[in-house]
Amino acid sequence: MKAKALLNLLPIGAVAVVGWVYVSSQWQQSQAKRPGYDDPAAPSPVPGLVPKPQSEPADVINVHDGDTITVMQGGQKLKVRLCGIDAPELSQPLGVQSRDNLRSLIASAGNQVILYISDTDRYGRKVAELYVPAHNPQQPEEEKLLNDEQLVAGMAYVYTKYASRCPNGRGYAQMEAKAKQQRRGVWSDPTAMKPWDYRKTPR
């Protein structure tokens, strides 16, 4: 009797196994369609064109200089350092212009940014890439990467020591090269301190 009962259960068990294998394979296929999912051949992010950062919007309450801001995010006040770039201090040549350029970029987005936080520095500041809408009617989802914008405007230098830690850091040198070629910002003023000078000053 027991053997007969087991034989009756076999078809049910086989159907269950086949069903599980089918569902599992469908799930794996759907996951494999996600960009970069376990795919070593997936293309690297293009500067300014990475997927929208997985972070909540933050309200900017102060722009300290060309590479440091303070935001309110989730009811918490955060001091944020822009990843991989270094701007002149306010007391140094073009320091005020650098701050004002970043302030203008942020104001154009209603003083709200998207943070992609990648680290915390030794001063407790969040290190992040900053994004705002690009206001492109043809591509409403497109965003500007403000780290790029500061570099291409000549309002900051690539901070080579840390740029490799940024999601789009590999593209920063290209942005800086554009500013240098067109003699924008810090590259147009022969009196402006270069990175090897101003990084020696207290921050």
What are 85's strand-pairing partners?
Answer: 158
DSSP state of 170: G
* pLDDT one-digit tens code per residue, 155-189: 999 999 899 899 999 999 999 999 999 999 999 96
Largest CA distance in the chain: 98
Q: In degrees to the nearest 10, what's the CA dihedral of 104, 203, 166, 109? A: -10
Residue 140: CB partners within 8 Å, gap ≥ 6? 133
On whether the CB atoms of residues 171 and 129 are closer than 8 A, the answer is: no
* Per annotation, catalytic residue among 56, 99, 125, 170: 125
* Per annotation, catalytic residue among 34, 56, 81, 183: 81
**14-33 mean pLDDT:** 40
The rounded distance, in Å, linking the Cα atoms of 151 and 13 is: 63
Q: Which of 16-20, 78-82, 119-123 has the lowest mean pLDDT?
A: 16-20
Check the CA dihedral 190-194-196-197 and report its sign.
positive
Q: Which of 8-12, 24-28, 158-162 has the lowest mean pLDDT?
A: 24-28
- Name the architecture of domain 57-198: Beta Barrel (2.40)
Mean pLDDT of the chain: 76
* Per annotation, catalytic residue among 34, 89, 165, 176: 89
pLDDT class for 130, splitting at 50, 70, 90? very high
**91-115 mean pLDDT:** 95
pLDDT at residue 175, as a whole number: 96
Active-site residue 125, yes or no? yes
pTM of the model: 0.68
Q: Which of 25-34, 63-72, 76-85, 161-170 has the lowest mean pLDDT?
A: 25-34
The rounded distance, in Å, linking the Cα atoms of 46 and 170 is: 9
Q: Which of 2-16, 59-73, 175-189 has the lowest mean pLDDT?
A: 2-16
Of residues 197 and 38, the one with the higher pLDDT is: 197
**5-16 mean pLDDT:** 49
* Beta pairing, strands 76-82 & 68-73: antiparallel
Active-site residue 81, yes or no? yes
pLDDT class for 153, splitting at 50, 70, 90? very high
